[in-house]
Amino acid sequence: MKTDILDRVIEHVEAKRPIVLATDLGSGEQRLLRPGEGADESERATVQTALRLDKAITADTDEEPRTFYQPFNPPLRMVLVGAVHIAQPLSVMATLAGYEVTIIDPRSAFAASERFPGVELSLAWPDEALESLGLDARSAVVTLTHDPKLDDPALQVALRSDAFFIGCLGSAKTHAARLRRLAKEGFSETELQRLHGPVGLPIGSRSPAEIAVSVLAQITETLRRPAS
């Protein structure tokens, strides 16, 4: 990799901007492509696939030489609002899946390092904490408290962000009430459709660990799903 290309890759990585390095396997010529960029529709789709899968791929073509696409994505982040029982297994599973996890809960008795060893904790109010984190398209947000005073401010910030996943714990009845409250705050039906609630795939989960599995599975499905 040439120095100027490397410098630009480092610049994008440090700025947490996704970029793909395209290398012609015949000539060695290299290009940097941002999401939506490419010589034609096929290449633009290949760039998007490499970024979505977090995987280097070679273009599927009969032409020689082929092009190798190496993605450089910002880190995956998961923000959990509420240091409740489900947050314990979910934070561990998410870390193993490659997420940088932050748990937000202004209640110090809940957000204690003894309960969440090695996890970043924030005692700030959820909306303030989320604003400071700067949610991007590689961020997932899950509210877990069942308390509108904590969950709703967080959801309002998340809905105004580029977060790829926003989930809310609670029953269907609780979620319907949540949607009504957020609609009164001015959010449109299209915006509210971004909310996954009740969060988690319907796998019959009951224990905190099982619910955590269903939540992480739904987040993974959303992350890896091809764009429509």
Q: What is the pLDDT of residues 8-39, one digit of tens each?
A: 999 998 888 999 999 998 889 999 999 999 98
Burial of 51 (0-12, 13-18, 19+ CB in 10 A): buried
Indicate the length of the chain as a whole number: 228
Instruction: Give the span between the Cα atoms of 143 and 198, in whole angstroms.
Output: 10
Give the mean model confidence (pLDDT) for residues 208-222: 97
CA-CA distance, 67 to 38, in Å (whole number)?
Answer: 12
Residues 89 and 105: their CA atoms lie apart, in Å, by 16
Which tokens is 25 given? 């396997």
3-state SS assignment for residue 222 = helix
CA distances from 213 to 203, 209, 222 (A): 9, 6, 14
The reported pTM is 0.88
Give the Cα separation of 117 and 198 in Å (integer): 27
Per-residue pLDDT at 164 exceeds 90: yes
Domain parsing of the chain, residue ranges: 3-72, 76-224
CA distances from 188 to 35, 83, 159, 172 (A): 27, 29, 10, 19
The CATH H-level superfamily of 76-224 is: NAD(P)-binding Rossmann-like Domain (3.40.50.720)
Percentage above 70 pLDDT, the chain? 96
Determine which helix (DSSP H) or strand (DSSP E) holds 217, and give its type and residue range.
helix 208-224
pLDDT of 61 over the 70 cut:
no
Q: 């395209």: which residue's tokens?
A: 22
Cis status, amide bond into 148, omega within 30 of 0: no
Q: What is the reported pLDDT for 108?
A: 93
Helices (H) and strands (E) in the chain, counts: 8, 10
Tokens of 159: 């809905």
Q: Which of 50-54, 188-192, 218-222 has the lowest mean pLDDT?
A: 50-54
Confidence at 65, pLDDT banded by 50, 70, 90: confident
pLDDT at residue 44 greater than cutoff 90: yes
d(CA 174, CA 187) in angstroms, rounded, equals 18
- Looking at every residue in the chain, the average pLDDT score rounds to 94
Strands 139-143 and 165-168, by their bridges, are parallel
**How far is the C-alpha of 127 from the C-alpha of 65, rounded, in Å?**
51
Written as one letter, the residue type at 45 is A
